[in-house]
Amino acid sequence: MFKAEAFSPHVTLAASLIAHAAEGDDGSHDLAHILRVFRNAMRIHAGEGGDGRILAAAVLLHDCVAVEKNSPLRAKASALAAEKASVILAELGWSAADIGAVAHAVTAHSFSAGVTPRTIEAKILQDADRLDAIGMVGVARCFYIGGRMGSGLYDPFDPAATNRPLDDKRYAIDHFQTKLFKLAEGFQTETGRRLAAARDQSLRDFLSAFMEEI
């Protein structure tokens, strides 16, 4: 059951936008993900500033268009979400300037899009979303997505890819090296970088323990 109070202090805004927040059946981009990113964003916002209303709207709508990881449209997912978010906010009477600020943050949050965030709200959203891709939640999401895409856990004969190219489409564990370990280097805010460092270490500790067990 959706509880708007979970999105305090933006309860009214959440109540008006939550119906659009998560599209499809992807458990790595569901309402739980939206709430985790919101909490990350509010924590970073407390240290970095910015417009809380713009930021909250961008968080709530950043995944309002669902595109699977293996879709050829994946790199355009955030742009498509920004377009849809703009329509939603216009229908709610938001100003063109505020809609543009939300749309930029939504567009720039995506790793695949490769768009540089220009505003503090866009930087915070990008950091908040990437925090959810590392740490223990990031581990869970990595294997969830791997299963969803039909990947194996690891190459049983060369799990560390010592003598083969990394291939995270075939082996979920390869995603740690192809993407997840790179994320902590690209955080935009000081608060985000501090939070990312701890989660990045958790990610590396997990991979070490995993390799030891197999």
Average pLDDT for 3-26: 87
Range of weakest confidence among 19-28, 113-122, 156-165? 19-28
Q: How many residues does the chain have?
A: 214
End-to-end Cα, the chain, rounded Å: 39
Q: Which CATH number fits domain 133-214: 3.40.50.1980, 1.10.3210.50, 1.20.120.420, 3.40.1190.20?
A: 1.10.3210.50
The pLDDT value recorded for residue 119 is 97
Domain spans, the chain: 1-119, 133-214
Three-state SS for 116-149 is: CCCCHHHHHHHHHHHHCCCHHHHHHHHHHHHHHC
The rounded distance, in Å, linking the Cα atoms of 166 and 55 is 36
Could you give the count of Cα atoms lying within 13 Å of 170 in the half-sphere of its Cβ?
A: 10
pLDDT band, very low/low/confident/very high, at 67 (cuts 50, 70, 90) = confident
The pLDDT value recorded for residue 74 is 63
Angle separating helix axes 31-48 and 190-213, nearest 10 degrees: 130
Q: Which pair of structure tokens corresponds to residue 63?
A: 């995944």
Q: Which pair of structure tokens corresponds to residue 168?
A: 């995270």
Q: Which pair of structure tokens corresponds to residue 54?
A: 């713009």
pLDDT at 72 over 80: no
pLDDT band, very low/low/confident/very high, at 210 (cuts 50, 70, 90) = very high
Stated pTM of the model = 0.91
pLDDT at 152 over 90: yes
Average pLDDT for 152-168: 97
The rounded distance, in Å, linking the Cα atoms of 73 and 80 is 9
pLDDT band, very low/low/confident/very high, at 66 (cuts 50, 70, 90) = confident
The pLDDT value recorded for residue 43 is 97
Residues 108-139 have pLDDT tens digits of 998 777 889 999 999 999 999 999 999 999 99
The rounded distance, in Å, linking the Cα atoms of 184 and 162 is 24
pLDDT at 174 over 70: yes
The pLDDT value recorded for residue 108 is 94
Range of weakest confidence among 22-26, 52-56, 74-78, 99-103? 22-26
- The mean of the pLDDT values for the chain is 92
pLDDT at 211 over 70: yes
CA-angle at 129, arms to 104 and 32, nearest 5°: 120
Average pLDDT for 160-164: 97
Q: Which of 63, 200, 42 is nearest to 121 (CA)?
A: 42
Q: How many secondary structure helices (H) and strands (E) does the chain include? A: 10, 0
Average pLDDT for 187-198: 97
Distances (CA, A) of 116 to 47, 104, 110, 141, 146: 21, 10, 10, 24, 27
Range of weakest confidence among 157-161, 182-186, 190-194? 182-186
